[in-house]
Amino acid sequence: MSGLIDTINPGLVLILAGLLAGLTPIQRVRQGLTLGAPVVALIMLLTATRDTDLATMSMLGFDMVLYRVDSLSFIFALAFLIAAFINAVYALHNDSQLEDSMALSYMGAAVAACFCRDFISLFVFWELTAITSVFLIFLSGTRAAYKAAMRYLALHVFSGVLLLFGAMQIYFDTGDMSVRHLELGDPGVLLVFIAFGIKAGFPFLHTWLADAYPKATVTGTVVLSAFTTKLAIYALARTFAGETSLVWIGAIMTVYPVFFAVVENDLRKVLSFSLNNQLGFMVCAIGVGTPLALNGAAAHAFCHIMYKSLLFMSMGAVLYRTGTTKATELGGLYRTMPWTTVFCLIGAASISAFPLFSGFVSKSLSMSALAGAGFLIPWLMLLFASAGVLEHSGIKIPYFAFFGHDSGKRPKEAPFNMLLAMGAAAFICVGVGLPAFLNGFGFDWLYSILPYAEDPKTVSYEPYTADHILTQMQLLMLAVFAFVVLQRIGAYPPEKRGIILDTDIVFRKLGYGLARWTGSVWNKAGPAIGSAFGGVSARAFSRLEAAFSPRGTLARGGFSNSMAIWTAVLLALALLVAFFIR
């Protein structure tokens, strides 16, 4: 029995639990499933044999590897399963049968995809993440959420289609369907690259993040923030490590969202822009492709899942208690939500890479790798983006939500299960960030499970050096000083209601215009086209009936006449087709 369990992909445990949760209306049972499934899957992961094909199958001539654990898939799956458990605790108060089911299935699909080593099985779970996650947006129940969910679903299903087409083209070119390192150049590889880029939020493909995530349910946004984009980062690290174009793509990703986040009023949308910014650091590191850089990408992904979940959880608690996350309608909440305030500040310090917090020990790996590889301009862009992160996520989020002007709102503190989940995420943010000599856990634990933990540069890498600390503190203090000065002189962009236009306005306008033009043309030409087509189809049907009906031409004289001739013609055509496609 244990041998059979050893061959089961841990993600399937979460998917099965999701199916069971969808069948039971009893909240206590669903709570047990949402809490128990990640624990069981985590135990399976920790006891799994490394670097061995644990589950394989052949289908339609394709060899599929459904379960293989190595150092890269291990750290991503570990972060996913920890996040799944924390999210389950955070959502314990939620009594939504469909949301529990879809959240578990979505998280399971992301975990399962980490262990797939062929494009067919990766495609299946890739699409499953899209189909299940969209319900977390739908269930918000607003018209805006419905529209955003439809745009989200269309784009992510399209990503899966590109992945499948690209994988098939790669197979036709090489005869190999395995997930492996790829080189840009062939059309199939380019399609796979774009498919991954959509989920990773590449420039001009990123707008779904800020469009959909802020419109999801209170708990749904937290779940969404941890899985989809980091699955794409894993896929890029697996297949395109060392692709230089990713350095520049990632650098643009870090800088571009900063300007939107600074002026955005919806704080959950600010965090969505910030999420895109943080993905850029990981994409940049993957583009460098050295062991130190890939370790930096993996470490940053792990830490980002924790502190971004923490920030989204704190804003979710604010939304749950006040009904809004608009900066213009918040302020002064620290008076009645002190614990949520503290946890938000820990998340803000972590994402800003303050020393003694997780972001400091993960981001410094990527920055050092980028500087060591000689990418000066991208390094400077990341340095600017690091200051921007402090402005919009490190300062703006906690300041305008909990401090700033007094909104007069005095909501209750978040429910206990929400605080417990935030406390667990905050513990990881602090624990991973501390030097090892302070707690015996610290960053060296994280470094020890990285994909290239044995790399000499990683083994000897020490984030807590004087130059690292001084450089980061100078950057952070400069950003704080700039915020204070701009606030005092009234030059900081004021928080006000409005709509921030992104590049998707082009696609929306073009799509809307095309739809209106098509509708107009059809209204004018449709009746004529329908009438003409109806006449043609009626005449064609009449001719076919006259030829092939029992009383038709071909039936006269039996098989010895026309029917025999037509049979011979059809047989000849079939033989020709068989000859050319054999």
In terms of pLDDT, which residue wins out, 314 or 507? 314
Lookup: tokens for 102? 């879809």
Q: How confident is the model at residue 560 (pLDDT cuts 50, 70, 90)?
A: very low
Q: Is residue 430 assigned to a domain? A: yes
| Confidence (pLDDT) at 501 | 59
Q: How confident is the model at residue 388 (pLDDT cuts 50, 70, 90)?
A: confident
| Confidence (pLDDT) at 224 | 95
Mean residue pLDDT across the chain: 86
Q: Is residue 479 assigned to a domain? A: yes
| Confidence (pLDDT) at 445 | 87
3-state secondary structure of 302: helix
Q: Is residue 258 assigned to a domain? A: yes
State the Cα–Cα distance between residues 197 and 276, nearest whole angstrom: 12
- 489-515 per-position pLDDT tens digit: 776 666 666 566 566 666 666 665 666
Give the pTM: 0.86
- 199-219 per-position pLDDT tens digit: 999 998 888 988 899 999 999
- 468-483 per-position pLDDT tens digit: 888 888 888 887 887 7
Q: Is residue 114 assigned to a domain? A: no
**Measured CA angle at 454 (ends 449, 456), to 5 deg:** 130
Q: Is residue 77 assigned to a domain? A: no
State the Cα–Cα distance between residues 379 and 368, nearest whole angstrom: 9
Please name the residues in contact with 79: beta carbons below 8 A apart, sequence gap of 6 or more.
226, 230, 301, 302, 305, 306
Range of the domain at 414: 244-509
| Confidence (pLDDT) at 231 | 96
**What mean pLDDT do residues 318-342 have?**
93
| Confidence (pLDDT) at 559 | 47
Q: Are strands 62-68 and 53-59 parallel, antiparallel or unpaired?
A: antiparallel
- 416-452 per-position pLDDT tens digit: 999 999 999 999 999 998 876 565 567 788 998 999 9
| Confidence (pLDDT) at 386 | 87
- DSSP 8-class letter at 352: T
State the Cα–Cα distance between residues 128 and 125, nearest whole angstrom: 5
Q: Is residue 579 assigned to a domain? A: no
Give, rounded to a whole angstrom, the gap between the first and last alpha carbons of the chain.
45
Lookup: tokens for 369? 């790798």
Lookup: tokens for 97? 């049968």
State the Cα–Cα distance between residues 496 and 327, nearest whole angstrom: 8
Query: Kind and range of the H or E element at 68?
Result: strand 62-68
| Confidence (pLDDT) at 564 | 56
Q: Is residue 67 assigned to a domain? A: no
Q: Is residue 8 assigned to a domain? A: no
| Confidence (pLDDT) at 491 | 64
How far from 30 is each of 41, 211, 227, 309, 540, CA to CA, in Å? 17, 30, 21, 22, 59
Does pLDDT of 570 surpass 70? no
| Confidence (pLDDT) at 582 | 45
Does pLDDT of 20 surpass 70? yes
Does pLDDT of 539 surpass 80? no
Give the number of domains in the chain. 1
